Amino acid sequence: MFKSQNLSFEYAPHDSNPPPLTLKNINISIQTGEFVAILGHNGSGKSTLARHLNALLTPTEGTLWVNGLDTKDPASTWGIRQSTGMVFQNPDNQIVATIVEEDVAFGAENLGVPPEEIRRRVDDSLAKVGMLAYASHQPHQLSGGQKQRIAIAGVLAMRPSCIVFDEPTAMLDPSGRKEVLSAAANLNKEGITIILITHFMEEAAVANRVLVMEDGEIILDGTPREVFSQVDKMQALGLGVPQPTALAHKLRQAGFNISPTILTIDEFMQDETVKKILKGQANANN
């Protein structure tokens, strides 16, 4: 789906406000159907990388291919943006129309899809995110989570093979976060590649691959288990790990033989050593 070779990016000097974010020598390959979470601090280059994935930005050096198309080739731009949709952080700043279904139709309209087909896609996409009942509502009267689902539907109506989520839950409350995350997970099950940029470790734990960025470079790349089992490194980066992982780590430091790959509460409960502790049968160093 995506492949980059020595991708580097530098904001033009006149754009030095906010301070220049750069990408340094990124070599990455992402397969169709993956669910990739990207973690990192503000300024680590996550959003810049995300914007490369649908040719909103193009590399200063190196190359990025999306489905084999070079993002630097202007002739490919629209094809790339069709195949890779984006959902941004602020729900209010990405909805164009004053009626939900009109907004969902916007992308497909830009692609020149015939009207009956757009109608079908709009209904279909709204149904997929559970918002069909709101088709004729005004977006500003919806909750944050609902607005984000509208934005997802708008991308879906373009029939993309990948959706890039740029901190889609940062401005939402817990129920809104759940709505958006489960929508993303469902789409992944249908074969759509998901790239999720987030600050929430629990969200990243759901992905099947985690990339950690720092100073414009990818410094960790692996399954959530591989990445989060490096508790000390993640904490040193100031990113942290899911809480169950952190607790397991603490117990392991105290000498208990608890699995280093625990990510969720359920996994914690299932751990043999934890079971022993609960039954009062555990000793340190066993």
Partner 1 sequence: MQIIETKNLTHIYNKGSVFEKIALDDINLSINAGEIVALIGHTGSGKSTLIQHFNGLLMPTLGDVFIAGDSTGDKTKLKSIRQKAGLVFQYPEHQLFEPTVYADVAFGPTKMGLGQDEIDTRTREALKLVGLTEDCFEKSPFELSGGQKRRAAIAGVLAMRPEVLILDEPAAGLDPRGKDEILSQIQKMHTELGITVILVSHSMDDAAKLAQRILVMERGRITIDGSPTEVFSQGEVLQAIGLDLPQISKLMNRLAQENPAIQKGVFSLDAAAAELLTLARKGAEK
Partner 2 sequence: MTRITVGNHYPTGSILHRTDPRVKLAGTVLYVTALLFVNNFLGFILAAVFIAALIKISKVPPRLIFRGLRMIFFMLVFAASINIFFTSGQNVLLHFGIIRITTEGLTLAAHMIARLVLIVTGTSMLTLTSTPIQLTDGIESGLRPLKVIKVPVHDIAMIMTIAMRSIPNLSEEMDKIMKAQKARGAELDTGSLTKRALSLVPILVPLFVSAFKWANELATAMEARCYRGDINRTRMKEMKMNAKDWAAAAIMLASVIAIAGTRWVI
Exactly one of 176, 184, 210, 263 binds partner 1 (CB under 8 A); that residue is 176
Stretch that binds partner 1, among 24-32, 55-63, 75-83, 250-258 (CB under 8 A): 250-258
State which residue, 110 or 235, has the beta carbon closest to partner 2: 110
Q: By the 8 A CB rule, do 26 and 59 touch?
A: no
Task: Report the partner that residue 115 touches, choosing among partner 1, partner 2, none (CB closer than 5 to 8 A by kind).
Answer: partner 2
In the block, residue with structure tokens 């340190």: 284
Nearer to partner 2, 122 or 201 (CB): 122
- Of 78 and 254, which CB lies nearer to partner 2 in the complex structure? 78
Q: Please, which residue, 60 or 283, has the CB nearer to partner 1? A: 283
Of 20-28, 150-158, 219-227, 232-240, the segment contacting partner 1 by CB under 8 A is: 232-240
**Residue the block writes with tokens 């919806």:** 142
Binding span for partner 1 by CB under 8 A among 5-13, 125-133, 134-142, 167-175: 167-175
Q: Is residue 239 involved in binding partner 1 (CB under 8 A)? A: yes
Decide if residue 269 touches partner 1 (CB under 8 A): yes
CB neighbour list of residue 208: distance below 8 Å, 6 or more residues apart? 34, 35, 36, 223, 224
Which H or E element spans position 165? Answer: strand 162-166
- List the structure tokens of 79: 């094809």
Element (H, E) at 76: none
List, in sequence order, every residue forming a beta bridge with 2; answer none if it has no partner. Answer: 30, 66
Q: Name the one residue in this structure whose structure tokens are 């959003």.
A: 47
